[in-house]
Amino acid sequence: MAFIAENAVWEEGVREVGIGESVSGGVQGTVNRSLTHLANRTLYLKRRLDELDGAALKKSANLSDVDDAEQSRTNIGVPTKLEILQAIYPVGKLYVSEDPVSPAVVLGFGTWTRIESRTLMGASDVYPAGSSGGEAEHMLTAAEMPSHAHNATTTQNGLHTHSASIGNSGEHHHGSGVGWDRFPNGSYGCYDGAYNHVGFDGGDTNNPIWKTSTNGSHSHSANIHAAGAHAHTVNVASAGGNAPHNNLPPYYAVYIWRRTA
């Protein structure tokens, strides 16, 4: 009985014998061709395992079977937890947590500096990485204040009066339309041209009531002295409590640490 000749090649497929197909033996027989494909694949896989020396399947490198798991991890090149964390948190990385314990204790490595009372902002050409600034509270300067007005009151210092003198221009007299006469009834007295009685004979003849005309209408000018020159003090009302205003955006406080070594 002869054996199928094997070649260490990877066959892309295994021939299938169809229904009703004639079956024949020999090297190129229909049955032996399918078996040859399988034999070639098997020899190919064996040679590959021999080349690898079976390292991946040895007990010393198998995590589930080896007694020394750390040695097994080293054999297959798996990094330790510490190495993974050190790769995640190199120098310059930030560690953020609500736990106040330093990451040097939590992670077990590195030198860390705590960043306090600071918010984070995306770096740019204007604000390069590592720069800091800003104010939690700010006192407005005069230039920063909005335009506004103040109420003012003045004192009564210099309360005074002014004196005036009036000239005597337009000095004149008025004429009277009355005279002594005898009334038609025979009584004597002071009468005007219309015989209106403006006085009495007897005891009142020396005090007649004079009726004057309105001629001589005029006006007078007045000069007011400038005495009482003075100054006033103006008191401007002040407003505001002179306190700084809150300059913080809405925030959520956490512990922030930066690895420095």
At 227-258, the pLDDT tens digits run 666 777 888 877 778 888 888 888 899 999 99
Q: Are 201 and 208 in contact (CB under 8 A)?
A: no
Q: How large is the average pLDDT for residues 83-91?
A: 93
216 has pLDDT over 70: no
CA 183 to chain centroid? 106
Q: What is the DSSP letter of 175?
A: -
Query: Which pLDDT does position 3 carry in this prediction?
Result: 80
Cα–Cα distance, 33 to 194 (Å, whole number): 173
Model confidence band, residue 177 (pLDDT cutoffs 50, 70, 90): very low
Which of these ranges, 63-67, 103-107, 172-176, has the smallest mean pLDDT? Answer: 172-176
56 has pLDDT over 80: no
Which of these ranges, 8-12, 70-74, 111-115, 124-128, has the smallest mean pLDDT? Answer: 70-74
Which of these ranges, 58-67, 123-132, 172-181, has the smallest mean pLDDT? Answer: 172-181
Q: Tell me the CB-side half-sphere exposure of residue 130, using CA atoms within 13 A.
A: 4
At 22-45, the pLDDT tens digits run 777 777 777 778 888 888 889 898
DSSP string, 31-54: HHHHHHHHHHHHHHHHHHHHHHTT
61 has pLDDT over 90: no
Closest by CA to 166, choosing from 218, 213, 228, is 218
Q: 119: which 2 tokens? A: 């918010």
Q: Are 110 and 261 in contact (CB under 8 A)?
A: yes
Q: Tell me the CB-side half-sphere exposure of residue 144, using CA atoms within 13 A.
A: 6
Cα–Cα distance, 38 to 42 (Å, whole number): 6
Cα–Cα distance, 14 to 234 (Å, whole number): 111
Amino acid letter for position 69: A
Of 18 and 210, more confident? 18
Q: Tell me the CB-side half-sphere exposure of residue 224, using CA atoms within 13 A.
A: 4
Tell me the pLDDT of the chain averaged across its residues. Answer: 76
